[in-house]
């Protein structure tokens, strides 16, 4: 990997976007031409996973290159420690300008984590309120997901999430043109992170009209068609799905709105790519597209995420750098923890990073170049629907989901991509498979002190349960407030008006 100028990097994130619902991953109906073009021109990872199927932990892992248990990334209200280095820190140390526009779900007083600029506030709160309660594992939490977002899915004119994504895109596009006006002498990392197609399942009329009700596909694995594992059952109870019998029309409406929201994200990808072209930055910019986790979207009667089953745990991952990597598809299993070393090596002309802490992530650059790379993803889950840690290993086509509380789940994704056959019940009659799975179970037991982990999670939840009430009474807020200096915006008396206007024009005259 070598070029005359260090590449800019643009990381585009969607939220709760399962690759199964993108045309470049084989969906026959969903329309997403801009993402499909990225895939046609880039390296597409067919087996990319989140390491924690929940918004905040997944993002903390992605940014730090560390697995959740290493940085106490337990759930959506766990603080992301300021002392944990991120890819933004490492790229800043390499001389990159680092900028975030949109969501990253940072919890705690540090709302930058290495980003030199943050152009918007976050869409979600930065405090401790959204923590699970393992002391009350059957309790329904008043802030948690609920099924109204499914039963009332459909068309809207505006929504909070549409507003947010419009703002995040506008700020990101403006940032690109500011860098172009600067002359492009400093390389930059720009992260544009949007909230759609995250529930509530809503979209604008024009996106709704891309589809017809009768063509919307129903879940491949409907509720009742396979035995329900205990974690799935607890999740469905927690957000109220077990209280309802949804008819096909309701399920189709939610999926149709989700597909429409994917269309809105696709439009924004197209706009950002157009801005890269118009600013003259495209040729020297690596573009990466991904998401934090997927969405069950009605599969097995489940919605949202929080599961290591495929629709929840897999993510899209596309790396577009035509001057560096030829288009190809990568079959090997990778995960979001691998993004930190990948970005750092992109900034260092392919050389390995000098890291301040051990990392679990492994670079994706060999995969991008068509060379041998790793074939493994490790998952850890400490949030809702359980009161014990849950672990996942995917290696090759085999996936194991293990917890001290629940029965073992073993799937062969090559022969059973929908995970309808749990092979754990057949180990006695298959000694080779039994030996293979025993090795994976031993790896998990040797890698984790599960009793100590459970105690750490419970202590953290109890601390946060106390602190959130005190913070609320004191009016303490960690929510990010973007800098906005009106004295230097647009036309001001810092210089003659025509000089200001001339400087703002692009291309320059």
Extract the tokens encoding 391.
């672990």
Answer whether 141's CB lies under 8 Å from 234's CB.
Answer: no
CA gap 294, 54 in Å, rounded = 9
Q: How many CB atoms are closer than 10 A to CB 158?
A: 10
User: What tokens appear for 169 in the block?
Assistant: 């895109």
- Report how far residue 413's alpha carbon sits from residue 49's, in angstroms, rounded to the nearest whole number: 14
CA 481 from chain centre, in angstroms, equals 23
Q: What does DSSP say about strands 390-395 and 398-403: parallel, antiparallel, or unpaired?
A: antiparallel
Closest by CA position to 114, among listed 132, 134, 128, 94: 94
Q: Who contacts 138 (Cβ-Cβ below 8 Å, separation ≥6)?
A: 234, 237
Q: 3-state class of 405 per DSSP? A: coil
Cα 175 to chain center, whole Å? 22
If DSSP codes are grouped into helix, strand and coil, which group holds residue 377?
A: strand
- Residues with catalytic annotation? 55, 105
Helix H, strand E, coil C: the string for 9-50 is: EEEEEECCCCHHHCHHHCCCCCCCHHHHHHHHHCEEEEEEEC
Supply 350's token pair. Answer: 């392919």
Expressed in angstroms, the distance from the first to the final Cα of the chain is 35
Neighbours of 113 (CB within 10 A): 24
Tokens of residue 343, six digits: 């970005």
Q: What is the DSSP letter of 140?
A: P
Question: Both tokens of residue 239?
Answer: 């957000």
In the sheet that holds 390-395, the strands lie side by side as 376-381, 390-395, 398-403, 409-412
Q: How is 80-125 classified by DSSP, letter by letter?
A: --TTS--HHHHHHHTT-EEEEEE-----SS---TT-SEE-S--SS-
Does an H or E element contain 67, and which? none
Numbers of helices and strands, H then E, in the chain: 15, 15
């Amino acid at each position: 990997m070598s070029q005359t100028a260090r590449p800019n990097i643009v990381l585009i994130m969607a939220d709760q976007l399962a690759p199964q619902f993108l045309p470049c991953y084989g969906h026959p109906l969903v329309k997403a031409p801009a993402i499909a073009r990225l895939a046609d021109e880039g390296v597409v990872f067919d087996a990319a996973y989140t390491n924690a199927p929940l918004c905040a932990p997944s993002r903390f892992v992605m940014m730090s290159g560390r697995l959740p248990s290493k940085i106490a990334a337990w759930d959506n209200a766990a603080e992301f420690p300021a002392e944990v280095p991120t890819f933004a820190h490492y790229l800043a140390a390499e001389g990159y300008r680092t900028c975030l526009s949109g969501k990253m779900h940072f919890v705690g007083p540090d709302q930058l984590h290495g980003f030199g600029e943050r152009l918007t506030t976050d869409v979600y709160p930065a405090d401790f309120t959204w923590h699970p309660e393992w002391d009350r594992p059957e309790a329904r939490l008043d802030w948690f997901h609920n099924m109204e977002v499914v039963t009332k899915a459909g068309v809207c004119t505006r929504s909070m999430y549409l507003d947010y994504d419009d703002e995040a895109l506008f700020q990101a596009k403006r940032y690109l043109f500011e860098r172009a006006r600067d002359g492009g002498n400093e390389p930059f990392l720009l992260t544009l992170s949007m909230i759609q197609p995250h529930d509530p399942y809503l979209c604008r009329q024009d996106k709704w009209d891309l589809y017809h009700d009768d063509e919307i596909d129903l879940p491949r694995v409907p509720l009742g068609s396979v035995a329900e594992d205990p974690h799935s059952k607890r999740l469905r109870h927690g957000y109220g799905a077990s209280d309802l019998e949804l008819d096909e029309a309701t399920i189709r409406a939610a999926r149709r709105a989700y597909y429409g929201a994917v269309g809105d994200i696709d439009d924004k990808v197209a706009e950002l790519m157009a801005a890269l072209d118009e600013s003259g930055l495209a040729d020297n910019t690596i573009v990466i597209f991904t998401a934090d986790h997927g969405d069950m979207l009605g599969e097995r009667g489940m919605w949202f995420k929080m599961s290591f089953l495929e629709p929840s745990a897999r993510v899209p991952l596309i790396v577009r750098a035509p001057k560096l990597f030829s288009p190809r598809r990568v079959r090997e299993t990778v995960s979001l923890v691998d993004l930190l070393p990948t970005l750092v090596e992109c900034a260092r002309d392919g050389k390995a990073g000098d890291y301040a802490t051990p990392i679990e992530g492994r670079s994706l650059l060999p995969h991008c170049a068509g060379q041998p790379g790793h074939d493994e993803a490790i998952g850890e889950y400490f949030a809702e629907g359980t009161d014990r840690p849950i672990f996942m290993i995917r290696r090759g086509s085999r996936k194991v989901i293990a917890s001290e509380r629940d029965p073992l789940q073993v799937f062969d994704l090559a022969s059973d991509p929908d995970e309808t056959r749990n092979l754990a019940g057949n180990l006695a009659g298959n000694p080779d498979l039994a030996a293979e799975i025993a090795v994976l179970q031993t790896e998990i037991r040797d890698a984790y002190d599960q009793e100590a982990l459970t105690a750490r999670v419970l202590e953290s939840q109890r601390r946060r349960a106390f602190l959130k009430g005190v913070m609320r009474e004191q009016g303490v807020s960690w929510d990010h407030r973007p800098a906005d200096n009106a004295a230097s915006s647009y036309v001001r008396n810092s210089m003659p008006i025509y000089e200001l206007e001339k400087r703002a024009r692009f291309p320059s005259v």
